């Protein structure tokens, strides 16, 4: 039987800086991969910071190309990764 390894990540977030926050997430994802994590969970709004006054402007479509590096890293690692991002409705 295979044991699933879950992990929670808590990183410093730069408010509204999606590019830098994605870079920070990738660092955590690579570390999780080295530790054999199967599912990595980041907090709510982890990619934007908990800036409710900016949430509307920072909202993205679920298939935004901005998430491509995270998707590629997760796919390469065989790891489910859950991130927080305000979504357009």
User: Which residues, 6 or more positions from 16, have their beta carbon under 8 angstroms from its beta carbon?
Assistant: 48, 49, 51, 54, 58
State CA 75 to chain mean position distance.
13
Q: Is the pTM of this model over 0.85?
A: yes
**Residues 84 and 46: beta-carbon distance below 8 Å:** yes
Residue-wise pLDDT tens digits, 44-83 = 999 999 988 989 999 999 999 999 999 999 999 999 999 9
In 3-state terms the chain splits into helix, strand, coil percentages (rounded to 5) of: 40, 10, 50
Q: Both tokens of residue 71?
A: 């998707």
Provide φ and ψ at 49, rounded to 5°.
85, 160
Paired strand residues for 39: 6, 80
Question: Would you place residue 1 in the very low, low, confident or very high pLDDT band (cuts 50, 70, 90)?
Answer: confident
The domains of the chain are located at 6-82
């Amino acid at each position: 039987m295979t044991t699933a390894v879950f992990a929670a990540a808590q990183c410093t977030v730069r408010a509204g800086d999606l590019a830098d926050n994605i870079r920070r997430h990738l660092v955590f994802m690579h570390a999780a991969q080295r530790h054999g994590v199967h599912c990595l969970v980041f907090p709510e709004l982890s990619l934007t910071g908990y800036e409710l006054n900016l949430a509307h402007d920072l909202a993205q479509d679920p298939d935004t190309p901005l998430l491509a590096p995270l998707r590629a890293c997760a796919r390469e690692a065989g790891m489910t990764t859950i991130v927080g991002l305000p979504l357009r409705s």
